[in-house]
Amino acid sequence: MAKGKGGRPASVGPKLRKMHGPKRHLFKEYKPMIHSMAKTGILSKYDNKESFELALAARGIKKDVNNLWAEFSKLPTKAAKDEWFKNLRK
């Protein structure tokens, strides 16, 4: 009967964290700028057409986006825009 080395047990699976080589911190220099833009509301679905399209896609709407954006951008207040999103699927 063969005897194995009595040191460490066999590996259970691949490690989830990289333990060697360079670590990547992508876009580290842009992080303060992104946070400040988010605080001003520039990246919200209320002021940005691209974010608006993503909000519609999350609700399952992918057609007629330009007309919906034109209708949505004419609404005066945030409360009215929130109500518009609530009534969107009806």
SS3 category, 8: coil
Q: CA–CA distance from 21 to each of 17, 26, 86 (Å)?
A: 11, 15, 49
Residue 49 within any structural domain of the chain: yes
pTM: 0.52
Q: Which residues make Cβ contacts (< 8 Å) with residue 55, sequence separation at least 6?
A: 45, 85
Total domains in the fold of the chain = 1
Residue 34 lies in a domain: no
Residue range of the domain that includes 80: 39-86
User: Does a structural domain hold residue 5?
Assistant: no
**pLDDT tens track for 14-59:** 666 666 666 666 666 777 777 777 677 666 777 788 888 888 888 8
Query: Is residue 65 in some structural domain?
Result: yes
What is the reported pLDDT for 71? 92
| Residue 9 forms part of a structural domain | no
Tell me if 19 is assigned to some domain: no
